Amino acid sequence: MPAPRELESLVAAARLYYLENLSQAEVAQRLGTSRSNVSRMLASAVEQGVVEIRVNDPAGRDRELEEALRTRFGLRAVRVAQRTANGDAEQQVGTQAGRLLLSELRDGMTVALSWGSALQSMVWHTTVEHDYAVKLVQLVGGLSAVENEVSGHELVRELASRLGATYRYLHAPATLTTAAARDALAEEASVEQALAEARRADIAFVGIGTPAHGSSAAILTALALDDEEASQLRKAGPVGDIAARYFDAEGNPVLGAVHERVLAVTLSDLAAIPTVVGVACGRVKAAGVLGALRGRLVDVLVCDESLARAVLALARDTDRKPDTDESEDLR
């Protein structure tokens, strides 16, 4: 900590330079010192915390965090919604995702969507000046336990309406009571064709869930797993899901009942889509987003500032931890 007299000098120099917009030469003349000394004082004022510099991007993005995530995980692109005093994080994420969507759209494209509140925000904050000759399709069936406005059906319909585009429903539930029922329904012509069209999408926008919250938890509830199935799921260690397909901390698919009784494209199908954009909001999603990034399940990430920081911190923490036996972790 600088001495009181030195601190007063730093504050005086900073006020004249940053608040009164004097040049360094004018500050030097006012304080009776040299220009080079003023330069050192201003640098020290920043170092000592007398002056704090923050760049408020008019686009509402935190470019530093974007670059940190992009280089750390080899992403094609990142959009991090900058935190504002009175802003709603999910609204800001939706705005960034909507802008990204419009920048990627080309006539003739097929755009696939999953579901969830982050994608709902993207849809609601997508406004266009002209129609796009694109088609919207679903990656996963519907689920009555999920609020109607965030369901895949509603999102593709609403986004198609906003874009002046066409859309195709996947007329099937997301979860079935048995694997045989899922297989039988998947062989129905309309369902088979809808899933095939989703697999051929040019770009996909997907929410990234976490098993204990929101639509991801609703899926597990709807599956009504028995004790053995629930035990197998816990042992697999799911940290998140994309389009109702669960994955572990390294992004590997979680198999068993949660895989066999869900009607949706698989994680392998998603990997074949040229561009997959993950959209998520909130620190609670950190483990799920980190798993998706480590498994390279998404090519582009759109998130809020708090989630971006949480993901980077969790990545550092888990990188430092030695490997442990999974059976010990579950005790």
Query: Are 30 and 72 members of one domain?
Result: no
Query: Are 80 and 33 members of one domain?
Result: no
Q: Per the confidence metrics, is the pTM higher than 0.85? A: no
pLDDT of residue 321: 65
pLDDT of residue 218: 84
Q: Is the pLDDT of residue 179 over 80?
A: yes
Q: What is the pLDDT of residues 203-219, one digit of tens each?
A: 999 999 999 887 788 88
Query: Are 103 and 35 members of one domain?
Result: no
In a domain, 202, yes or no: yes
Mean pLDDT of the chain: 89
Query: Are 12 and 88 members of one domain?
Result: no
Beta strands in the chain (DSSP E): 77-81, 110-113, 135-138, 166-168, 203-207, 240-242, 245-247, 275-279, 300-304
Sheet holding 300-304, edge to edge: 77-81, 300-304, 275-279, 203-207, 110-113, 135-138, 166-168
Which phi and psi (to 5°) does residue 324 adopt?
-125, 155
Query: Are 140 and 40 members of one domain?
Result: no
Query: Are 201 and 261 members of one domain?
Result: yes
pLDDT of residue 323: 52
> Residue 85: which CATH number?
3.40.50.1360
| Number of helices followed by number of strands (H, E) in the chain | 16, 9
Average pLDDT (163-192) is 94
Contact 101, 115 (CB under 8 A): no
> Residue 15: which CATH number?
1.10.10.10
What is residue 69's three-state secondary structure? helix
In a domain, 8, yes or no: yes
Average pLDDT (30-45) is 92
Average pLDDT (249-264) is 94
Average pLDDT (3-12) is 82
Q: Is the pLDDT of residue 253 over 50?
A: yes
Q: What is the pLDDT of residues 258-270, one digit of tens each?
A: 999 999 999 999 9
In a domain, 329, yes or no: no
Q: Report residue 86's pLDDT band, with 50, 70 and 90 as the boundaries.
A: low
Residue of 64, 74, 75, 62 whose CA lies nearest to 301:
75
Contact 41, 13 (CB under 8 A): yes
Query: Are 16 and 80 members of one domain?
Result: no
In a domain, 326, yes or no: no
Query: Are 210 and 307 members of one domain?
Result: yes
Query: Are 26 and 88 members of one domain?
Result: no
Q: Which residue has the tokens 């120099």?
A: 13
Query: Are 130 and 246 members of one domain?
Result: yes
Q: What is the pLDDT of residues 268-323, one digit of tens each?
A: 999 999 999 999 999 999 999 999 999 999 999 999 999 999 999 999 988 776 55
pLDDT of residue 224: 87
In a domain, 325, yes or no: no
Residues spanned by the domain of 20:
4-48
Query: Are 255 and 219 members of one domain?
Result: yes
Average pLDDT (152-177) is 92
Q: Is the pLDDT of residue 59 over 90?
A: no
pLDDT of residue 187: 94
Q: Is the pLDDT of residue 222 over 90?
A: no
In a domain, 57, yes or no: no
* From 35-39, 147-151, 185-189, the region with the lowest mean pLDDT: 147-151
In a domain, 328, yes or no: no
* From 80-84, 121-125, 282-286, the region with the lowest mean pLDDT: 80-84
Q: Is the pLDDT of residue 58 over 70?
A: no
Q: Is the pLDDT of residue 330 over 50?
A: no
Average pLDDT (241-247) is 95
Residue of 141, 122, 288, 119 whose CA lies nearest to 219:
141
In a domain, 76, yes or no: yes
Query: Are 68 and 159 members of one domain?
Result: yes
Number of domains the chain is built from: 2
Q: Distance between CA 276 and CA 268 in Å, rounded?
A: 12
